[in-house]
Each structure stands twice: as C-alpha cells, then as structure tokens.
Chain A
C-alpha cells in the first residue's frame, strides 16, 4: 500500500527571491562566486544558474579527463553540478567554490565508473571528429593520441591525481585535499602515473 505526503516546501526559483533580484542574475557576470553561493544557499536557482554557467567548462573538462568519453563526461558533469546544488547548504566556503567543485566532480566520476564496472565496461573509444581525420596528422598528434589512451588506462586514483596536478594545475597540497588523501600518498600516485606514462613514451621512439 502506498500513501503520499508533502515534505517541507522545496527550494524553488520563484519563492525565495524577489523578482528584481532574479532579473539581476540574468546578467550575473559582475557578481562574484561568494555572493552567488550565498544566494544559492538561500534557495535561489537563478543564482545557481549563473554559477553553473560560469563553472560548467571546468567541471566538464575535468569529468572528460577522468572518464575519457564525452557522453559519460556529460553524465558526470550533470551529476556533479546537481550534487553541488544539494550539498550547497553544507558548503562552508573555506576551499573556494571551484575547488569544492573539483572534489564533487571527482567523486561523481568515481561513482559513475564504479557503476559502469558492475555493468558494462567503458568502450574507451571515441569517434575521431571529422576535422581531425588521419590525412595530415603530425607525429606529435599521434603521440598525443597515444598519451590520451595511456592516461585513460591508468587506475582511477592515479589518473585523478595526475589530472588534478598536471592538467588542472593544482598544487600537491590542493590535490591531496581534493582527493581527501595525505600529500605523500598523492605524490606517490602522481609518481606512479608518470612512471606508467614514461614507459609508453619510450615505446613511441
């Protein structure tokens, strides 16, 4: 038997904000993250929308680097940003919104890959965009392709460490905090990842 009940009113676009403030967000470029985060924490979907527009590139790029294919990366990016909305009330702002998103995105990627592993394996193959068809590919492009595959084949925790430090430009300390491990552990993972990639690199010569 199933019954229904009303939970406490959810946060919604219309109720929490006067409409003039909502309108201001339609051109929210001048508003800083801290302000928008506070408004979003107060229930403003409009403020969150500006944050999403501002950070989606970073979130998608990290997701793509972590899961290796665009369709899966879109899922991860969506899940991460929706999780961010749900977790916002608990966000204290010590780390900065962008850093916090790194952690949420990494967790979303880890979860997706764990789910996939229990069902179907990642194909790991992406169609090559037409403008990048073989014809005039330089050797360096071939090397970049091989490196992309090698990065994708690293164990997840090594790949995450490498990507955060070497692609996203985080310091060891920041990356360690993002992955919630100690700094020596993080350094060890980056070193192991680099060792694997160097093996590959020797193979290209």
Chain B
C-alpha cells in the first residue's frame, strides 16, 4: 500500500524498509473500541437535540443569549476535568426561573470514593458554568454510569 512511495531520497533503503515493517506491526495491533462508546455519543446527540432552550442574561449594554447545549458542554468539560473522572455526558435543563439543573453521567476511575468525587464535580461544574456562561446552576444530579481501571 504505502512502502516504497514513502521512502525519501535521504533515507537508507534498508532502514526505510525496517521502519515500514515496524510501523506495519504497530498498525496491525488490535484497537478494541471502549464498550458503550456509541451509546454515549448517541446520548449526547440526543441531549443536543433536547437542548431547545437558551438562557438570556440581561446586561447593561444588551442581552446575551447562551444556548442550552453550551451550558451542558461547559458542565461536561468541567466534570471531565475533575481528577478521578474518566468521561462524562451531560444534559442541562432550565426547569425553573432560578437557574438550570445539570444532569451528569460519569465514568469514574475505580477506587475513587464516590460521594466526595460527586461533591467535587458539583463544585467544579457550578463554578465553571457561572464563570464561563453567567448562568446559575441550582442542582447537579450525578449518575455514576461506569467504572474504569
């Protein structure tokens, strides 16, 4: 497939062939997809489809509209960045007039105490959403969906 065409003039042909061989070995390694990947993607896509609201911040110079899925995205990134969290899905809903409720699905590293991790995730999500979007989060519901080693 590739091989010869890749070798450059300055490459020693023997070295080049050996490198090609070694790269082929590496390329042939099995690469199992993490279980549940497709499901988590579809969940997030469904979440996007369900984020049909936006927050309006009334500021002195005008209004700032922040789409619901942006709030969910900021929340997801903040959750995923917490030490001990392997991955996160998120959904944000504007249930009341006071602020948004964020729902998180977390993949957690095995051995991490869950109650304290959840608290840390809440603090981090509330802080990040407030700082980056100006939106108040009134509750963060945490679902621990999966454990990874």
The chain A residues found within 8 Å of chain B, CB to CB, are 1-13, 43, 45, 48-49, 52-53, 56-57, 60-61, 64, 70-71, 74-75, 77-78, 81-82, 85-86, 119, 127, 140, 143-144, 147-148, 151, 165-167, 169, 190-191, 194-195, 197-198, 201-202
Contacts and interface: CB of A to CB of B under 8 A. Distances in A.
A58 to B, nearest CB: 10
Contact of B2 (A9, A165, A202): A165
Interface in B14-28: 15-16, 18-20, 22-23, 25-27
Interface residues of B, number: 55
Nearest to B15: A198
B22 A2 contact: no
A48 B42 contact: yes
Contacts of A53: 38
Contacts of B2: 165-166, 169
B11 A194 contact: yes
A56 B40 CA distance: 11
B42 A3 contact: no
Contacts of B94: 4
B38 A7 contact: no
B54 A5 contact: yes
Nearest to A55: B38
Contact of B22 (A8, A11, A70, A144): A144
B31 A7 contact: no
A166 B7 CA distance: 11
Given A2-B136, A77-B37, A194-B16, 10 more contacts: A7-B53, A12-B46, A56-B41, A57-B33, A60-B33, A61-B31, A74-B86, A197-B19, A201-B18, A202-B15
A45 B6 contact: no
B44 A82 contact: yes
A10 B37 contact: no
B41 A7 contact: no
Nearest to B133: A2
B121 to A, nearest CB: 16
